[in-house]
A and B are shown apart, each in its own frame.
Chain A
Amino acid sequence: MLRWCYPCVRPFREIFVTHKQFTGKAAKRLFCSKDQQRSDTALAQELERRRTKIDFTEIKYPTKVPETPISCINLDKSPDYTPSQIVDSQTLQLLERLSLVDLDSKEALRALEDSIEFAEKVVKIHTGCVRPMYTVLENHPLKTRPDKVTDGNIKEDILKNASVTEEDYFVAPPGNIPLETKEKKFD
């Protein structure tokens, strides 16, 4: 996984040192060796600046993903607006059960319906004569490994992620139990 040096926004490839002068959460962050030469106050200022505003022009691989969610729902269309995709309550219950996500508001339902409508455009593209490409590596044969046990036996690490365990088991809610099937009524 690629990580970034927080103050100078450079990929983490060099030798890392911990800047002890930062207390609290910042102390746990890792910095690349170049930052060692800077003065602590300059570093602290730089850190503060980055924290408030990331300069995308300085990032080697800038991301186009917006920092905050952008709603595509046009609520101005209401109150009489009805989306072209309507999810009935039965389908809604099925989706909630399959995804284990609770759709808790009218807006959420509208977002779902609008998302479906948005994605519908794809269906209209004519792809009948195009051979699907599944991966850009199609001509590269899959590499294999010999049948040897080289991994595992890290029970402590594996169970570390679980909030509840019992005798080295993960504890999960019971499966296959139907969720509430009451009609949803949004006010």
Chain B
Amino acid sequence: MNPSCRFVILNKFDKIIVRNLTKVAPKKSKWQSVVGLEVHAQISTNSKLFSGSGCAFGSPLNSSVSLFDAAIPGTLPVLNKHCVELAVKTALALNCEINPVSMFDRKHYFYADLPAGYQITQQRAPLARKGQITYPVFTPGVTKKPYYKTVRLHQLQLEQDSGKSLHDDLAGRSLVDLNRAGVPLMELVFEPDIEDAEEAASLVKELALILKSLECCSCKMEEGALRVDANVSLHKPGTPLGTRTEIKNIGSIRNVAQAVNYEIERQRVLLDAGEEIQNETRSWDAASKRTVAMRDKEVQQDYRFMPEPNLPPLHLAMDTASASNEELVNVQAIVHAMPMLPEDKRKRLAEMYNLPQETLIILVNEEVLLDYFTQIMDSKLEVPPKTVANFLINDLLTFCNRENISVNECKISSNQFIDLFKLMQAQTINLHYARLLLNEMHSHPDKVPAQITKEKNWEQINDPEKIEELCRECVKNNPKVVEQFKKGKEKLLYALVGDVAKKTDQRANMAMVVEKLQQMLKS
């Protein structure tokens, strides 16, 4: 097959892939997809893994670089103790077997942003092995019902990051910034236990939540603090795994799902057409929503792994006997200081407030929502937890989406929320105005909701006499509707209610209006 012919065929496949992806329910296929994730998480520390230079994001070019980071001969690595502590913490949270003695290796490859020509990593004896994570799979609007999935973790290792290259294709050169060279990373290699894109995205989401609650990683994917590579292959059930491709350059959790989905569909179309899958690295292009083949790696690279001669084995204090050695990282102390993990939070919320699973998952997924929720509940209001949770999940999130801000950027204080629920509880405002209040509270974080309500004249009309007057007027103005209602079209009651709502700018107490109207029309 000549190259140009191949190009045409791929274009044809592209159309099929896109068509299949846009279908609401993809047709059942004989192919089973298998996905394995490799996650690189930047460890939140002040200084680098083996040198004393800083790792703040966005520092001036080549400023956070020491002689060691630039691989100047004669410099030696000294391990940052805090990196080990945070990696052990993560390993414990992911139920790993922790190696009392782990070792460092050199992985060699030549690239301009790797000054030493090798990366210090852990290959033979990583810090931890054989972990496992159980997490809920639920994406509102995509998955119907939440379910739990367990994925095994193959290993967790410490390693250095490389520098950053900017490719100037026009001038045919690369610009290299070494600020990131030597920044501490945890590499988490998961077993290929995942079956589809949503499971992959949910795993990354849960992992990010865990790492954030452990304060191990900022998990800002846009800053590259959490990088996900996905290995995707297709096979027929009961047969060995198929040839896999690796997707790199995935920039967000939603992109994980999109990239894996695209790749599964791409492979399915190729396999159905009798083509073979190439073992290659593909890059996710978020703009065109496609994976494209990357140029390197036609042949399996030989990384020439060798033991790092400058670093003796890393020993951990596993029991109280060895814990007296101040030099060693004390695993028991870390076990005792473990914070609450997302799954613990969900369980606790479920026990305390009896919320449905979907609600629990969304609340715990958004740290800010959970903070609002717990603070509102702690204020001992007599509002049902479900009402509070639903208002936060539905109305606050809708508001944030409409304003195009993330929930973290929402300026509303929890005290304002408590006041808002007090107003709703006291029937001073209704849901419609509560929603409008969100906007006001966001733009005036210093104002009390009660004050805003008063100023804007948003208070609910609860006065029975006033309601009666409104209803009487409404009945008078709509004789035809009333006539039809009396003939038996009872649904038309809501037309009248709507009329009252419209007249009062939705301020009338609707429950009272409905009751009053029924009373008036039936008499």
Contact of A155 with B78 at beta-carbon distance under 8 Å, contacts A149-B54, A175-B165 already known:
no
B329 beta carbon closer than 8 Å to chain A: yes
Q: How distant is B499 from chain A, measured CB to nearest CB, in Å? A: 67
Total contacting residues, chain B, CB less than 8 A: 62
By the criterion CB–CB under 8 Å, are B46 and A149 in contact?
yes
A137 beta carbon closer than 8 Å to chain B: yes
Cα–Cα distance between A154 and B53 once the two chains are bound (Å): 10
Cα–Cα distance between A157 and B174 once the two chains are bound (Å): 21
A94 beta carbon closer than 8 Å to chain B: yes
Cα–Cα distance between A135 and B308 once the two chains are bound (Å): 9
Cα–Cα distance between A151 and B69 once the two chains are bound (Å): 10
- Determine which of B78, B173, B295 lies in contact with A171 in the assembled complex, contact meaning CB atoms within 8 Å: B173
B137 beta carbon closer than 8 Å to chain A: no
By the criterion CB–CB under 8 Å, are A137 and B312 in contact?
yes
By the criterion CB–CB under 8 Å, are A145 and B62 in contact?
no
Contact of A168 with B61 at beta-carbon distance under 8 Å, contacts A140-B312, A141-B327 already known:
yes
B267 beta carbon closer than 8 Å to chain A: no
By the criterion CB–CB under 8 Å, are B80 and A159 in contact?
no
Contact with A along B75-106 (1 / 0, CB 8 A): 00011111110000000000000000001000
Total A-B contacts with CB atoms under 8 angstroms apart: 152
Interface class of chain A by DSSP: loop
Contact with A along B45-89 (1 / 0, CB 8 A): 111000111100000111111111110111000111111100000
Cα–Cα distance between A120 and B301 once the two chains are bound (Å): 21
Q: Which residues of B contact A73 (CB under 8 A)?
A: none
Q: Which residues of B contact A143 (CB under 8 A)?
A: 78-79, 327
- Determine which of B45, B53, B302, B313 lies in contact with A151 in the assembled complex, contact meaning CB atoms within 8 Å: B53
By the criterion CB–CB under 8 Å, are A171 and B174 in contact?
yes
Q: Which residues of A contact B168 (CB under 8 A)?
A: 174
Total contacting residues, chain A, CB less than 8 A: 42
B296 beta carbon closer than 8 Å to chain A: yes
By the criterion CB–CB under 8 Å, are A144 and B52 in contact?
no
A1 beta carbon closer than 8 Å to chain B: yes
A41 beta carbon closer than 8 Å to chain B: no
By the criterion CB–CB under 8 Å, are B174 and A144 in contact?
no
Q: Which residues of B contact A140 (CB under 8 A)?
A: 312
B130 beta carbon closer than 8 Å to chain A: no
A176 beta carbon closer than 8 Å to chain B: yes
- Determine which of A152, A173, A175 lies in contact with B63 in the assembled complex, contact meaning CB atoms within 8 Å: A152
Cα–Cα distance between A147 and B81 once the two chains are bound (Å): 7
Q: How distant is B118 from chain A, measured CB to nearest CB, in Å? A: 13
Within 8 A of A (CB), among B3-62: 45-47, 51-54, 60-62
A146 beta carbon closer than 8 Å to chain B: yes
**What residue of chain B has the Cβ atom nearest to residue A135's Cβ?**
B312
Cα–Cα distance between A178 and B298 once the two chains are bound (Å): 10
Contact of A147 with B46 at beta-carbon distance under 8 Å, contacts A152-B64, A161-B70, A169-B175 already known:
yes
Q: How distant is A63 from chain B, measured CB to nearest CB, in Å? A: 17
Cα–Cα distance between A173 and B171 once the two chains are bound (Å): 10
Cα–Cα distance between A146 and B326 once the two chains are bound (Å): 11
Q: Which residues of A contact B69 (CB under 8 A)?
A: 152
Within 8 A of B (CB), among A112-152: 134-135, 137-138, 140-152
18 A–B contact pairs at CB < 8 A? A134-B103, A135-B309, A141-B325, A142-B312, A144-B84, A144-B327, A147-B45, A147-B80, A147-B83, A149-B47, A151-B66, A152-B51, A152-B63, A153-B63, A155-B60, A170-B62, A172-B174, A175-B112
Interface pairs A-B: 9 shortest CB-CB? A152-B53, A172-B112, A150-B52, A151-B52, A147-B82, A144-B81, A169-B175, A151-B66, A141-B315
